[in-house]
Amino acid sequence: MEEGKSNSAEKISLTEQEWKGLLTPQQYYVLREKGTERPGTGLYDQFFLKGKYYCAGCGFELFESGSKFDAGCGWPSFSEPSENRNITENADLSYGMIRTEVVCSRCGGHLGHVFNDGPPPGGLRYCINSASLVFKSQEELNSAKISETIEP
């Protein structure tokens, strides 16, 4: 084992069979088959609690509630990722369109697409499927932090 390296960007690679065992059918459809949930049906579309969003495939941190906004498109929209390196962009030429697909940098799971019609200053809109995200509220994150720092 290599020491001193952050494990944050360590790639996760599972077989499709293993992913099928881990994910719900809807998560598998979005993350592994690059599916798109129907607009307005996702858990996090109209959802604005304070907290962080993690990859539903591998738990990698992807977005924070502070960058979430209502784009009215029917999918959760973010103006920027938590960390740029946590998200990887790929050209997507499917369906006769030129789009930029965004995937989790750790497990390669499909998240959604990024468009250039977001709010200033960045002007980006990360249009993400709810099924590819897991939300943790600020309270959950705080209490996890407190329990980590309690001395035995």
Please give the residue ranges that form the binding site for Zn ion (CB under 5 A): 55, 57-58, 60, 104, 106-107, 109
Per DSSP, 50 falls in state S
**For Zn ion, the closer CB: 16 or 151:** 16
Q: Other C-beta atoms within 10 Å of 67: how many?
A: 18
Catalytic residue among 55, 104, 107, 127: 127
The CB-of-10 to Zn ion minimum distance in angstroms stands at 11
**For Zn ion, the closer CB: 46 or 90:** 90
Per DSSP, 40 falls in state T
End-to-end CA distance of the chain: 28
Instruction: Report which residue type is found at 14.
Output: L
Angstrom distance (rounded) from CA 112 to CA 121: 21
Angstrom distance (rounded) from CA 60 to CA 87: 10
The CB-of-40 to Zn ion minimum distance in angstroms stands at 24
Spatial CA neighbour of 51 closest among 142, 150, 151, 145: 142
The CB-of-77 to Zn ion minimum distance in angstroms stands at 19
**For Zn ion, the closer CB: 70 or 127:** 127
The CB-of-120 to Zn ion minimum distance in angstroms stands at 29
- Is 104 known to be catalytic? no
Angstrom distance (rounded) from CA 134 to CA 52: 8
**For Zn ion, the closer CB: 109 or 118:** 109
Residues assigned a catalytic role? 127
